[in-house]
A = this chain, B = another copy of it.
Amino acid sequence: MSSSKLLKGSLATIVLRLLEENDRMYGYEITQKVKELTAGEFKITEGALYPTLHKLEAEGLLTTETQPVDGRVRKYYSLTKEGNAAARSKVTELEEFIISLQKVLNPKLGLG
């Protein structure tokens, strides 16, 4: 993910979250969806995305289906059962992280 070299470690969670919503997606589609959702703020690079997808597949969290579409090959990814569970726990973990982060960035709030 580009867009400010921030927060390394959230890409896998983002991928799992999108697949939770979309049933199946291919790599390029993921890059476009993220760009769309964030109004261009996040630009996921291929060099980051594809290795992440391969890793999640190797861990048994994703399965793939390859299909030719318009003369090009598309590789669709879907969550496995374990992938679903991982998506839930990783998203929760990230949300809790954000809450803690905000406590540090803005200690005044949350004390009342």
Contact = CB atoms under 8 A, between A and B. Distances in A.
Interface of A: 3-10, 13-14, 17-18, 21, 34, 37-38, 41-42, 91, 93-98, 100-105, 107
Contacts of A13: 105
Number of copies: 2
B97 A6 contact: yes
Among A34, A94, A100: residue with most chain B CB under 10 A: A100
Main secondary structure of the interface of A (DSSP, over half): helix
Contacts of A97: 3-4, 6-7, 41
A5 B10 contact: no
Contacts of A104: 14, 17-18, 34, 37-38, 42
